Amino acid sequence: MLNGKDKEPCVLCGQPVEITGFSLTTSNGVQKFCCAGCLSIYQLLNEADTKPTITPLLTKKK
């Protein structure tokens, strides 16, 4: 159980963030991570999420 510590859980894996510095500023605010691995994975997921899913140029092909 948490005991008043201000350690925030890693956004990706939920482990307490022991070391500050692995943070990423997104449109939802600053996300904090426990390690560079979690940060990079989140970046990949976030990048995919921000990509447009609709490609208007390919709607008509025939």
10 scored as a contact of Zn ion (CB under 5 A) = yes
Listed ranges 12-20, 22-30, 45-53, 54-62: which one lies at the site for Zn ion (CB under 5 A): 12-20
Q: Give 47 or 51: the residue with its C-beta nearer to Zn ion.
A: 47
List the structure tokens of 36: 């560079």
Q: Which of 31, 32, 34, 39 binds Zn ion (CB under 5 A)?
A: 34
Strand 29-32 with 23-26, pairing: antiparallel
Q: DSSP E strands: which ranges in the chain? A: 23-26, 29-32
Residues contributing to the site for Zn ion (CB under 5 A)? 10, 12-13, 34, 38
